[in-house]
Structures are given as structure tokens and as C-alpha cells.
């Protein structure tokens, strides 16, 4: 159903399913906040559902379920279909990194009897939103021995939290003259982590005390920060939003909401699909999809190569190109939800509305569609038919008014490999803020739409 409010469709039983699906999503959002945490969660849930590591399988046949991971930050999962894989596969692709603050490599310092951690922001954050709120530290520290220390401080009820302080309004005459963009400087996003001085005869006494806590409690020496990946994220759980509980408020819907629904779609396929189904979760989308774990990585072709070898008993480059060229993909990424409080930046007839279902962006980009993947109408027509046949609610949108801004996703990267790709995700309000909002109806419609796509697009 095109561009209608999805809440009208649910009977009592369906509403119960929708709410229960979202309760599970809220748990996921509360518990897994970084690309590594989501990768590890994905492996666990895939294995619990009968998926095997691709490397442990010699041959692939219809109905087999396999997965592959890359450096604890990418996941690819497959359900092998009845058709030859060279006929193409149906892919759901989402990203599992979210805007945040990363620790610098040499982060510890003391100033006027406070200890701090120096940060460098990751992705497009609105800096003033990150001050004066409880923050948590998630990530890993790798010792020279190779030992991995997993860090997660600020989420348990008994954990301390951290914060970046803000200026009181009584003293902000100078600050109030600044623009929203400069009011908090990137270099000033430093995390307060302590204030008790050490009793020993040392120079920076508060820092000395913090360093001894790091060693005693966490086995982390100061130099170990050099080989660490520690991410500062909003502390606390996601929650239902609104008296009617129609929405979810939480950190990192972009793009964990599409990652979760895509992963659930492939897990919940009820029969062997005709075409092979695939779900791919990538890192680094918020900084341009570069690097070994971003969507540009050769990991994608590498795993597809193994898939062909194990399904066909042979491999060559032409086979890989054939598979890719014949494949269809939904770039499952969030869309900007229409916000009545900021109506002037949207063009209402081509905006996505919370509650109107899965949102398709034929193109993203900026100015004259610069940098966009412009999906083929032949492909979009196939999708319309499948969604209507399966009573999935969906809508189409642009990212705001022409020339107001712009953005991109991983769509163009896979399209460049010669694949049919379109952006298909969930509208978000307050995108990239520490607390973003989505509609529970859209989470559910996306999940239903993704299943229909995997099963029926051909």
C-alpha cells in the first residue's frame, strides 16, 4: 500500500506482534551499540538459528544457511536458494556504525584537578547535543600480547557514567553570540573521568589515581590506549516514545534499525527461497564507507567468490560478474522523517512520514543529484508489485528540499559494481542526535517488506 498511514491496517493480533517485535528491537538497541558488539550479537543469533561459518562448509546446496565475518565489524549471511547462484541473489545491506565520539590514541590528561579523556568525533554529529548528558565507553583494548580487553562502562545500573560539561546560562553572554555550528568546538569534546587526587607524592595527582584504577580494575596501562578502539556513546536504554507508545526513542537507529530488521528478515525466512538470500552489515558508512570493513571493501567479492566456489565447484571472474550483475539489492538505510517543527526544509509531497512504512529513495545525493545512485524504474516496478501483493505499506521520499542539503548511503557503491540497488529504509526524526526517533509501524513494515523482497523479487 503506497503512502498511507500503516497504523490503520493492524488488527488486535497484528498489533500485538508489532509491539512484541519492537520490544525485541528496543532490547537490541539498548544492548549493542558498536559495530563489534552488533557483529558478535549477529554471529550468536545466526548460529542459534542454524547458520554455519562459511569456512566450515565444503559444499553449498539449496536450503543451506551460512555466514562470514570480517575483522569483527562486517557480517554476511546467506540462505542458499533453489536457483543457480549465477542467476543473481537478493541482498539486504545495512550499516552498523553510528555517529559517536572516539578516544584519541593518547587521550589521558589532567587539568585543574580533573582527569579527562580527549576525543575525536566520528561521523556527522551535532556537537552541542553531546554535552551535559550521561555517556558510556564501549570498545576494545588490545594488549601487546594480543590479549583483548572488552570495555563496556556506563550501561549497568552499578556502573559510573561520564560526561562533557557545558557552560551555565548565567555566564554564557559570549557563547550566545556563536553559531550552532561553532558553539561547541570539536577539540572541547573532552570526557570528565575523575577528580580524586592520589595520596602519593606525584605531579598530576588526579590522573595518577585514574591510571591506577585503570590498571587495577581493567588491566589497562596508559600506553595500551595506543592499540585501543574505544567509542563514547550515549549511556542508557532505548525506550518507547509517546503516551500511545507508537515510537522508539534511542541512540543509533541510523542504521541499527535497518540492520536489525534486515538480519531478522533473513533469520525468519520460513522456506528455502528461489533466489539465494543475503544480508550484509557493513562498517564505516558514516565516514564514507572506506577501509577494509566499509562497503567499498573487496570483502564482498571475496565472500561471493567463496560462495560460488562452494555452490558450483568452480570459480572464475566472469561467474562473479554474472552473479553481481543479476543481483538485486535494497540498501537498507534510514531516511529523514518529516518533522512538522522543521517543515521549511522539507518538500511535503516528497517526504517520508513516520508511520507510512518502508521508505524508498530512488536517489539521494546533493544539488543536481550529485553522487547519487538513481535506481532503475524497471527495478522499482518489480518492488511495487511484490510489496502490494504482500500488503506491505511503503512510501517514497527525497532527502529534504532541493538544494537544502543532501546525503548518501552505500547504495551507489554496490550499484557501481553493476547491480540493481535502491535505498529502502525507515524514516528517522532527529537523525544523528544522541536520541533519535522512529515509528514502531515503520520498523515492522520494513521487516515485512525485507522478507517479501528476499522471497519474491526475481
Footprint on this chain of Mn ion (rule: CB under 5 A):
254-255, 333
Minimum CB separation from Mn ion for residue 228, in Å? 24
Question: Rounded to whole angstroms, how far apart are CA atoms 412 and 369?
Answer: 12
Residue 241's SS3 state is: strand
Minimum CB separation from Mn ion for residue 124, in Å? 7
Question: Rounded to whole angstroms, how far apart are CA atoms 281 and 287?
Answer: 15
Nearer to Mn ion, 15 or 366 (CB): 366
Minimum CB separation from Mn ion for residue 28, in Å? 17
Q: Is omega for the bond preceding 80 within 30 degrees of 0, making it cis? A: no
Nearer to Mn ion, 224 or 254 (CB): 254
Minimum CB separation from Mn ion for residue 231, in Å? 15
Say which DSSP state 337 is in. B
Residue 264's SS3 state is: helix
- CA 100, 368, 331, 419 dihedral sign is negative
DSSP string, 78-124: EE--SS-GGG--EEEEEE----EEEEEEEEEEEETTEEEEEEEEESS
Q: How many CB atoms lie within 10 A of CB 169?
A: 9
- Cβ distance 398 to 350 under 8 Å? yes
Nearer to Mn ion, 110 or 255 (CB): 255
Minimum CB separation from Mn ion for residue 287, in Å? 10
Nearer to Mn ion, 254 or 283 (CB): 254
Q: What is the largest CA-CA distance in the chain?
A: 75
Question: Rounded to whole angstroms, how far apart are CA atoms 447 and 392?
Answer: 9
Residues 6+ apart with CB under 8 A from 377: none
Helix (H) or strand (E) holding 151: strand 148-153
- At 361, list the grid cell: 529513495
Q: How many CB atoms lie within 10 A of CB 318?
A: 9
- At 302, list the grid cell: 571475496
Minimum CB separation from Mn ion for residue 246, in Å? 22
Minimum CB separation from Mn ion for residue 283, in Å? 12
Residue 285's SS3 state is: helix
Nearer to Mn ion, 209 or 352 (CB): 352
Nearer to Mn ion, 70 or 364 (CB): 364
- Cβ distance 1 to 9 under 8 Å? yes
Nearer to Mn ion, 93 or 355 (CB): 93
Minimum CB separation from Mn ion for residue 400, in Å? 14
Nearer to Mn ion, 98 or 326 (CB): 98
Residues 6+ apart with CB under 8 A from 71: 292, 293
Nearer to Mn ion, 408 or 449 (CB): 408
Please, which residues bridge with residue 423 across strands? 331, 361
- Cβ distance 293 to 55 under 8 Å? no
Residue 31's SS3 state is: helix
Minimum CB separation from Mn ion for residue 411, in Å? 11
Nearer to Mn ion, 326 or 361 (CB): 361
Nearer to Mn ion, 110 or 285 (CB): 285
Backbone angles phi, psi at 130, to 5 degrees: -100, 0
Minimum CB separation from Mn ion for residue 158, in Å? 32
- Helix (DSSP H) and strand (DSSP E) numbers for the chain: 9, 22
Minimum CB separation from Mn ion for residue 30, in Å? 20
Minimum CB separation from Mn ion for residue 430, in Å? 12
For cell 537507529, what's the residue? 253
Nearer to Mn ion, 206 or 446 (CB): 446
Amino acid at each position: 500500500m503506497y503512502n498511507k498511514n500503516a497504523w490503520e491496517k493492524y488488527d488486535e493480533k497484528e498489533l500485538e506482534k508489532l509491539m512484541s517485535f519492537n520490544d525485541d528491537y528496543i532490547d537490541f538497541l539498548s544492548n549493542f551499540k558498536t559495530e563489534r558488539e552488533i557483529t558478535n550479537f549477529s554471529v550468536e543469533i545466526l548460529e542459534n538459528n542454524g547458520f554455519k561459518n562459511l569456512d566450515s562448509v565444503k559444499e553449498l546446496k539449496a536450503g543451506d544457511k551460512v555466514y562470514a565475518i570480517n575483522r569483527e565489524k562486517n557480517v554476511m549471511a546467506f540462505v542458499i536458494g533453489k536457483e543457480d547462484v549465477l542467476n543473481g541473489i537478493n541482498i539486504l545491506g545495512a550499516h552498523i556504525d553510528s555517529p559517536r565520539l572516539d578516544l584519541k590514541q593518547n587521550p589521558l590528561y589532567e587539568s585543574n584537578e580533573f582527569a579527562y579523556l580527549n576525543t575525536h568525533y566520528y561521523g556527522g554529529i551535532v556537537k552541542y547535543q553531546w554535552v551535559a548528558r550521561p555517556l558510556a565507553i564501549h570498545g576494545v583494548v588490545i594488549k601487546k600480547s594480543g590479549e583483548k580487553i572488552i570495555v563496556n562502562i556506563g550501561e549497568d545500573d552499578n556502573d559510573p557514567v561520564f560526561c562533557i560539561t557545558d557552560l551555565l546560562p548565567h555566564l554564557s553572554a559570549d557563547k550566545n553570540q556563536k553559531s550552532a555550528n561553532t558553539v561547541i568546538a570539536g577539540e572541547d569534546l573532552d570526557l570528565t573521568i575523575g577528580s580524586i587526587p592520589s595520596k602519593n607524592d606525584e605531579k598530576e595527582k588526579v590522573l595518577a589515581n585514574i591510571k591506577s584504577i585503570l590498571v587495577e580494575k581493567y588491566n589497562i596501562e596508559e600506553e595500551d590506549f595506543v592499540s585501543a578502539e574505544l567509542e563514547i556513546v550515549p549511556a542508557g536504554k532505548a525506550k518507547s516514545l509517546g503516551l500511545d507508545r507508537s515510537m522508539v526513542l534511542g541512540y543509533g537507529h541510523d542504521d541499527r534499525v535497518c540492520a536489525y530488521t534486515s538480519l531478522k528478515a533473513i533469520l525468519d525466512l520460513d522456506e528455502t527461497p528461489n533466489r539465494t538470500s543475503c544480508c550484509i552489515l557493513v562498517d564505516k558508512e558514516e565516514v564514507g564507507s572506506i577501509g577494509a570493513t566499509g562497503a567499498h571493501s573487496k570483502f564482498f567479492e571475496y565472500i561471493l567468490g567463496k560462495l560460488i566456489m562452494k555452490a558450483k565447484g568452480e570459480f572464475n571472474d566472469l561467474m562473479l560478474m554474472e552473479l553481481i550483475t543479476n543481483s538485486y539489492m535494497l540498501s537498507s538505510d534510514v531516511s529523514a522523517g518529516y518533522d512538522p517543527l522543521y517543515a521549511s526544509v522539507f518538500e511535503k509531497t516528497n517526504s517520508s512520514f513516520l508511520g507510512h512504512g518502508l521508505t524508498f529513495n530512488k536517489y539521494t545525493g546533493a544539488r543536481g543529484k550529485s553522487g547519487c545512485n538513481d535506481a532503475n524504474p524497471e527495478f522499482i516496478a518489480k518492488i511495487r508489485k511484490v510489496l502490494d501483493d504482500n500488503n506491505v505499506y511503503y512510501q517514497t521520499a527525497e532527502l529534504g528540499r532541493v538544494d537544502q542539503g543532501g546525503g548518501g548511503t552505500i547504495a551507489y557503491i554496490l550499484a557501481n559494481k553493476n547491480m540493481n540497488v535502491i535505498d529502502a529504509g525507515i524514516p528517522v526524526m532527529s537523525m544523528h542526535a544522541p536520541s533519535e526517533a522512529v515509528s514502531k509501524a515503520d520498523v515492522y513494515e520494513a521487516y515485512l517488506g525485507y522478507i517479501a523482497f528476499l522471497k519474491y523479487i526475481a
